[in-house]
Structure 1
Amino acid sequence: MSGKKWDELSPRSRRLVVFGAVVESVLKAIALADLARRPADQVRGPKPVWAVFLTLFNSVGAAPVAYWLVGRRKTT
């Protein structure tokens, strides 16, 4: 499977790619900010591992959602 170059994409496809990148960036920024502020005892697993996972894994939102659903402990 060969990917298309940016110039070969339709305008609609270009908009979808840009939209996905913006969504990914916003979700990552929010998750990383929460991770930085949250005490280590309120995070499941080591904070540095979550930071690397959130930073390096391109997922169109799946990595930040995984952090929000699995990585955070409920506060009382």
Structure 2
Amino acid sequence: MKERAQKKVVALGGAVQFGLLAAALADIYQRPAEQIRGGKLPWTLASFANFVGPLSYFFFGRKRVSPRHQHPGRHRAG
């Protein structure tokens, strides 16, 4: 039973790691380069470091953008 629980924990960790990697890569390539500290290529490479890379990108790699400046082509009605 202990071995089965260990396999589940490893599978869950792998799924979380893959999800973080996919989210980081998607964000890197959808976000304009001006909104990323240090450039897209270094953060792409760093994202492949287990857990640390994607989390570092989300905490340190993205510049904070005010909601007003996120979508310059969109305006609120009213």
With normalisation by structure 1, the TM-score equals 0.79
Q: Which runs of 5+ in 1 are unaligned?
A: 1-8
Question: 1:54-65 counterparts in 2 under 5 A?
Answer: 54-55=47-48, 57-58=49-50, 61-65=51-55
Higher RCO, Cα 8 Å, sep 6+: 1
Q: Distance in 1 between matches of 2:57 and 2:45?
A: 12
Gaps of 5+ in 2: 67-78
RMSD of the TM alignment (CA)? 1.3
Deviation beyond 2 Å, 4+ runs, structure 1: none
Q: Which has the larger radius of gyration?
A: 2
Instruction: Give the fraction of aligned pairs with identical amino acids, expressed as a percent.
Output: 34
Paired residues in the alignment total 65
